[in-house]
A = this chain, B = another copy of it.
Amino acid sequence: MPTREITRLTLYGDSISGNCQKPKWTADFLGIPFDWVEVDILKGGTQTEDFLAVNPVGQVPVARWPDGRTLAQSNAIMLYLAEEAGSDLIPEDSFRRAQMMSWLFWEQYSHETAIAVRRFHKHYLKKSEDEIDPNLMAKGRRALGVMEMQLTFTDWIVGERMTLADIALVAYTRLAHEGGFDLSEFPSVERWVSRTEAALGIPHAREAA
């Protein structure tokens, strides 16, 4: 990652990371122009001197503006972009908004930590089933079950329209098969994945894979 002068919003991320896709999809959806700087996590790209100057915590994604401000954490970046754009990806009703926040925190705590982590171990670190912590499958299936329970009743995670909660949760749910999860057990989730991919204009992950 060469040091560069930036003239508009710049998103630093690794394309294989669902967390990094979230702010990218959000910016695309909102029509916000940005530059993308690829940072290869597996090759140590988040630990170089140049990258640590952008985010001393050494994590992607990070957003950076021409005036030097930077912001880390996928869900925080999405929230800021959508809020600045006045987008209805954030519900206007305060309790709906609170429910969306609840799902965003749940995603990072109870979903990503099982589904993204298992995918990383299986698909990128090429670990065998025996080498992967067995709790990850159980925890991931519980998370998918929670989503199925919601999506049986509503088309979107928080009620009648797409919000940031759908973008956050689709990032790794659409790639769950790479972590050994079988989405056909969760038919409402499977339909919602296609619905959300279509709304965001991104390819269906299984076909793209």
**Chain A residues engaging chain B, CB cutoff 8 angstroms:** 56-57, 59, 69, 71-77, 79-80, 83-84, 94-95, 98-99, 101-102, 104-106, 108-110, 112-113, 146, 149
Contacts and interface: CB of A to CB of B under 8 A. Distances in A.
B98 A79 contact: yes
Contact of A75 (B56, B73, B101): B101
A199 B107 CA distance: 31
A99 B108 CA distance: 17
B57 A146 contact: yes
Given A57-B146, A113-B113, A105 B80 contact: no
A77 B98 CA distance: 7
A109 B108 contact: yes
12 contacts: A57-B110, A71-B98, A71-B99, A71-B102, A73-B102, A80-B94, A80-B98, A83-B94, A104-B105, A108-B108, A108-B109, A109-B113
A8 to B, nearest CB: 17
Given A73-B105, A105-B108, A108-B108, 4 more contacts: A59-B110, A71-B99, A73-B101, A73-B109
Nearest to A81: B98
Contacts of A99: 71, 76
